[in-house]
């Protein structure tokens, strides 16, 4: 889904504010290159 919008999957990480054992602790960071940034979908 994100790749069609020029987003690239960066890395997975454990969110420090979510307790160990919580299924929501794991997060995924997506990145968008500056060249692909379009404010207000211009």
> Is 41 exposed, middle or buried, given 0-12, 13-18 or 19+ CB atoms closer than 10 A?
exposed
Question: What is the pLDDT, as a whole number, of residue 1?
Answer: 47
Predicted model pTM: 0.57
Question: What is the pLDDT, as a whole number, of residue 16?
Answer: 97
Question: What is the pLDDT, as a whole number, of residue 42?
Answer: 53
Instruction: Render pLDDT for 1-42 as a digit per residue (tens, 0 to 9).
Output: 455 568 887 899 999 999 999 999 999 998 888 888 877 755
Question: What is the pLDDT, as a whole number, of residue 22?
Answer: 98
9 strand-pairing partners: 30
Domain spans, the chain: 2-41
């Amino acid at each position: 889904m994100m790749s069609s919008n020029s987003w690239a999957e960066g890395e997975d990480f454990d969110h420090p504010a979510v307790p160990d054992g919580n299924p929501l602790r794991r997060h995924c960071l997506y990145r968008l290159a500056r060249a692909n940034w379009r404010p207000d979908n211009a």
